[in-house]
Structure 1
Amino acid sequence: MSLNLPTALASAFFLSLLWYIATSITTYHRLRHIPGPWLASFSYLWLILTTFRNHTRESFLSLVKYGALVRVGPNYLVTSDPEILRKIQSARSTYVRDPWYASVKLHPHQDSLFNILDNDAHDILKTKTMSGYSGRENGDPEVVVDSQIIRLLTLIRRKYLSTDDKLLSADFGALSRYFTLDVITRLAFGEPFGHLDDGTDVYGWIEHIDRILTVAGLAGDIPLIRNMVFSKWGTRLFGPKPTDKRGVGRVTGVVQATVRQRFEQGAKPQNDGLGGFMRNGLTPLECEAETMLQIGAGSDTSATAIRGMLMYLMTTPRAYIRLKSEIKHAVEQNQVSSPITFEQAQKLPYLQASPLPFYLIPSHLNHGHYKRAPPEGDTINGIFIPGGTAIGHNTLAITRNEAIFGQDVEVFRPERFLECSGEKRKEMERALDILWGGGRWTCAGRNVALMELNKVIFELMRVFDFQLVDIRKPWEEFILTITMHKNMWIRITEADKLD
């Protein structure tokens, strides 16, 4: 006997409902001993509502009331305890990456160092790519950073320098990204894309990447969406294409063309990131995927730190003046070259203290990086974690831990790292340090990112003065899984000459 269409649909709906109820009960029971929002115990509704209401900051900060381990989804936990993360990310950890990492995939057909899930495969690939990500393939990566700092200063003087009777507003949200994009593409290809030539989004990367990262942030937290968006048909239908005229697809096309040209018979590997990947045996597809990751991860995260640092200096006169004073003294005492070297920058106490509080401000990735417990499970702080449970970091809560950073944790105050004991400073730095990852998952581009931040902030503050154009609206900030900024309009003037 055949069923008519309404009956068939009703039956399918009823069976799906029964399946959902059964799996929800099973899921709830498995982690029922771990506290968290009620909706998170059986569904992803808490994460969905948090995202669509734009309440990520408030919601994830509120989780501390549940303790150090909190349930935010049927199989997802987050922690605000740096020591738990240190255990999970230790060199001998048996945790593995959760499929959450699939949401950060910039190449449609090839996994990269960031989203490969198998530990052994990850370790092999990291060995092959480390020299490319560290900038060592370029000889001295500091020379590359210096060249782009000079281009940034030149662009500002030519196009954005205001005077007493003339305002030329600059969107530093865009400028910071032009700088980091040209640094990373110079490291990757031996030549920058040219964003700093005239202060333009050459290929439309910035125009499109924020939209992609917003979708990726939502997809990462919700497996159903993730499996749809990053399936073969999903990437084929909705993903960027190398034939696109603008955006991530256009950059993908440029990367593919460059890789193809380099792999032509007789082509000699060059002294840049791509050349290093080739020398270490990566296939053309692997080179494409790693280079796209290098551009994406190496530009947006560093730009977020640079503009965040400048924003909080501009809005904290005490810190702004003190850093200016330290720079002036270093120049007058001939303690620094031009541009400053990373080694010289590391000897300036206030400059070193100033980037640290930036991590008390929303960082680029506010939560995530989920790792799955081994099949036999694990015990953390006396709590049993069933095998396969994914645990991620709650960066927003970690960086606002009053027990670690003090009761004035919301205040941008570099002095907290200078006025405390050596033991206390080490505790604070260790808590922030784990946000770079640990063990096999330590950020491969960490040293380049820190070098960029230290050097460019010093040089900008050495030669220019900065002021917000509209203090009532300093920037547009979007805090989802990641933090994004745009329309950071500032007035830049020539500073008193120091050398």
Structure 2
Amino acid sequence: MHLQTTVLLAGFLFVCYVIGSLIWELLFSAARAVPGPLASRFSRLWYFSKVREGSFHHENIALHERHGQVVRVAPGYFSISTTDKTVYGIGSKFPKGDWYQGWKHPSPERWTLFPDQNSKRHAETRKRFQGLYSMSSLLSYEPYVDECIDIFLDKLSQFARSGTSINLVHWFQCYAFDVIGEITYSERFGFLDNGDDVAGTMAALEKSMTYSTLVGIFPKLHQYIYPVMEKIPGSGAAGRTYLMSFVQRKISERSQAKQDGAYRPQARGSGDGAAPQDFLDKLSEAQQQNPDKVTPYHIFMMGLSNIIAGADTTAISLSSVLYYLMTSPQAWSKLRKEIEEHGLRERRATFKDSQEMPYLQAVLKEGLRMHPATGLPLWRVVPQGGVQIGDHWLPPGSNVGVNSWVAHYDKKVYGEDADIFRPERWQEAKDAGGERLKQMEANFMPFGLGSRTCLGRHISTLEMSKLVPEIVKNFDLTLGMPKEEWKTVNHWFVMPEKLPVTLHCRNAS
């Protein structure tokens, strides 16, 4: 009887909470005029359920088409359709929201660059390490990328000769992971050798991402759930713990090898025989020069960030570009013609070559526009004084964010055919000049915005710019599914479920 009474009381209190929240939102909330789904007015559960389904990027676009520039997705959470400079511009006073807490270890001393809500610490850390990610610095790693491309192309040739159908998404992941391994540790992880998920790294990252994305919607629960979940094999928290252990092991192995005198960097390419310093060596050198500002934790944190942010995003972008090229034969032919006109039929394209090929750059840009790697709003907290966005005033403490998918599919910016892959739109806007190109560039955000733009974006650019021409010039690809079956799962990164292809070598006899 006592249990029954308790259950009834709990149910009654829940109903009272729902009704009270709805009354508050409808009558007293400062942002009560902001439209959105009714369920989003009194609970985060509506938003949680939509994110959990894995297709919120499509839902988000539809919400803005239905309701306009500002849409409520949960109490105090407002999705916006434009890259507002007040929110995201350099010097913005809008810090990252609590959703990002799910992306870090619950311990206050364990932080990483991507989810850091401490704007001052983030700015100092970014300034300290951004030189490692500059394009001029990364170009020294071009031989590392070439080595991975050689292995990848050899695998594709084997598949072409055998007539084997492959999932290109998976093999792009293998390529991107091995490149990150080379750049960070001068050592491939070995994904490209057999296409295996080495030590379960891919699975660990996927589960960790799903956990972080969902728990971030209820961030106060993170500190209680994580210690339990990390002890459960196969859980997202356990996946994150595995990745942290993996990075720490790589750092310890390098340190021990140096102490034993056994560390010998391997030369790459056809230069003077010297091996470029990898990230780990550069970080270690920086620590020796300034141990107060570059600590052992900084070395660990930056190594972890490279793996978490550097592989899947590139694999997603490559998958998108190749999918849209395969389903746009005219674009494929036009790109192949440009590659051959630049004299690249018999030699490897350098990064410098790729920058001198306008249609290749338009193809890459349009692929990133059509399918940006991230698919949830980039939440920021409204500071004291509130903010006016469009017709709505949002009170301080609110979370406001733009989703790159919403920005990239804005027909007022990219035209009525914004949902069609058409690389020519970028050259047309450039030829027209003026405000249109400026607006398109302002809304283009595949790597984030403002001071929080992805630090590793040049790594991805380097990998894509060199690999795409090699695939297009060396192979004919046939998509092994109807165009309409291109499906994705969005748990922060919008990962294609599959991209089955068969290949034919163009130079085959």
TM-score interval, normalised by the smaller of the two chains: 0.7 to 0.9
The residue that corresponds to 1:187 in the other structure is 183
- Distance of 2:13 and 2:489 partners within structure 1: 40
The residue that corresponds to 1:105 in the other structure is 104
Match of 1:388 among 372, 397, 404: 397
1:259-312 alpha-carbon deviations (Å, 9 max, x no partner): 234456975998322233342544334433332221011111111000110011
Match of 1:276 among 282, 287, 306: 282
The residue that corresponds to 1:40 in the other structure is 40
The residue that corresponds to 1:363 in the other structure is 372
Structure 1 residues 185 and 218: CA distance shift in structure 2, 3 A: same
- The within-5 A match list for 1:39-78 is 39-64=39-64, 65-78=66-79
CA contact (8 A) 2:373 2:446 kept: no
Q: Offset at 1:235?
A: 2.0
Letter in 2 for 1:362: H
Q: Offset at 1:178?
A: 0.6
- Distance of 2:17 and 2:311 partners within structure 1: 44
- Distance of 1:21 and 1:260 partners within structure 2: 56
- Mean alpha-carbon deviation: is it higher for 207-216 or for 442-451? 207-216
1:208-231 alpha-carbon deviations (Å, 9 max, x no partner): 4333323333333x22xx332x31
CA contact (8 A) 1:95 1:373 kept: yes
- Distance of 1:20 and 1:149 partners within structure 2: 56
CA contact (8 A) 2:43 2:75 kept: yes
Q: Offset at 1:325?
A: 1.0
CA contact (8 A) 2:368 2:446 kept: no
Match of 2:477 among 462, 466, 476: 466
Match of 2:386 among 331, 353, 377: 377
Structure 1 residues 140 and 27: CA distance shift in structure 2, 3 A: farther
- The within-5 A match list for 1:371-450 is 371-381=380-390, 383-420=392-429, 421-423=432-434, 424-432=436-444, 434-450=445-461
- The within-5 A match list for 1:90-169 is 90-105=89-104, 110-134=110-134, 140-157=140-157, 159-162=158-161, 166-169=162-165
Q: Offset at 1:139?
A: 7.1
CA contact (8 A) 2:208 2:239 kept: no
CA contact (8 A) 1:365 1:483 kept: yes
Q: Offset at 1:338?
A: 3.7
1:81-127 alpha-carbon deviations (Å, 9 max, x no partner): 12x1x331212211111011123337977110011111111112212
1:404-438 alpha-carbon deviations (Å, 9 max, x no partner): 11111111111112234123334322311x44233
The residue that corresponds to 1:309 in the other structure is 321
- Distance of 2:181 and 2:135 partners within structure 1: 11
CA contact (8 A) 1:342 1:454 kept: yes
- Distance of 2:23 and 2:384 partners within structure 1: 21
- Distance of 2:484 and 2:22 partners within structure 1: 44
**Aligned length in residues:** 479
CA contact (8 A) 1:255 1:291 kept: yes
Letter in 1 for 2:333: I
Structure 1 residues 242 and 116: CA distance shift in structure 2, 3 A: farther
Letter in 1 for 2:379: Y
1:329-351 alpha-carbon deviations (Å, 9 max, x no partner): 1126x9xx943222221111210
The residue that corresponds to 1:204 in the other structure is 200
1:367-424 alpha-carbon deviations (Å, 9 max, x no partner): 2220101122222335322111111112222111111111111111111122341233
The residue that corresponds to 2:466 in the other structure is 455
* 1:324 matches 2:336: yes
Q: Offset at 1:321?
A: 0.9
Structure 1 residues 324 and 413: CA distance shift in structure 2, 3 A: same
- Distance of 1:192 and 1:480 partners within structure 2: 27
- Mean alpha-carbon deviation: is it higher for 309-318 or for 88-97? 88-97
CA contact (8 A) 2:101 2:115 kept: yes
Match of 2:215 among 212, 215, 219: 219
Q: Offset at 1:193?
A: 0.9
CA contact (8 A) 1:474 1:489 kept: no
- Distance of 2:420 and 2:129 partners within structure 1: 39
Structure 1 residues 45 and 293: CA distance shift in structure 2, 3 A: same
The residue that corresponds to 2:88 in the other structure is 89
Letter in 2 for 1:252: M
Q: Offset at 1:181?
A: 0.5
CA contact (8 A) 1:173 1:487 kept: yes
Letter in 2 for 1:260: S
CA contact (8 A) 1:95 1:372 kept: yes
- Distance of 1:496 and 1:249 partners within structure 2: 46
Structure 1 residues 390 and 191: CA distance shift in structure 2, 3 A: same
- Distance of 1:418 and 1:185 partners within structure 2: 35
The residue that corresponds to 1:492 in the other structure is 503
The residue that corresponds to 2:249 in the other structure is 257
CA contact (8 A) 2:204 2:234 kept: no
Query: Unaligned regions of 5+ residues in structure 2, if any?
Result: 266-276, 288-292
CA contact (8 A) 1:204 1:248 kept: no
Letter in 2 for 1:380: I
Q: Offset at 1:4?
A: 5.7
**Secondary structure at 2:377's aligned position in 1?**
strand
CA contact (8 A) 1:346 1:352 kept: yes
* 1:79 matches 2:80: yes
Letter in 2 for 1:450: T
Structure 1 residues 77 and 120: CA distance shift in structure 2, 3 A: same
Q: Offset at 1:22?
A: 4.7
Structure 1 residues 198 and 4: CA distance shift in structure 2, 3 A: closer
CA contact (8 A) 1:377 1:384 kept: yes
Structure 1 residues 383 and 247: CA distance shift in structure 2, 3 A: closer
**Secondary structure at 2:369's aligned position in 1?**
coil
* 1:239 matches 2:230: yes
Aligned-residue Cα RMSD (Å) equals: 3.2
- Mean alpha-carbon deviation: is it higher for 49-58 or for 196-205? 49-58
CA contact (8 A) 1:242 1:252 kept: no
Letter in 2 for 1:227: K
CA contact (8 A) 2:168 2:499 kept: yes
Letter in 2 for 1:68: Q
Structure 1 residues 57 and 243: CA distance shift in structure 2, 3 A: closer
The residue that corresponds to 1:346 in the other structure is 355
- Distance of 1:196 and 1:419 partners within structure 2: 39
Query: TM-score scaled by structure 2?
Result: 0.84
Letter in 1 for 2:213: G
Match of 2:171 among 156, 164, 175: 175
Structure 1 residues 283 and 26: CA distance shift in structure 2, 3 A: farther
- Distance of 1:365 and 1:299 partners within structure 2: 13
Structure 1 residues 139 and 463: CA distance shift in structure 2, 3 A: closer
**Secondary structure at 1:197's aligned position in 2?**
helix
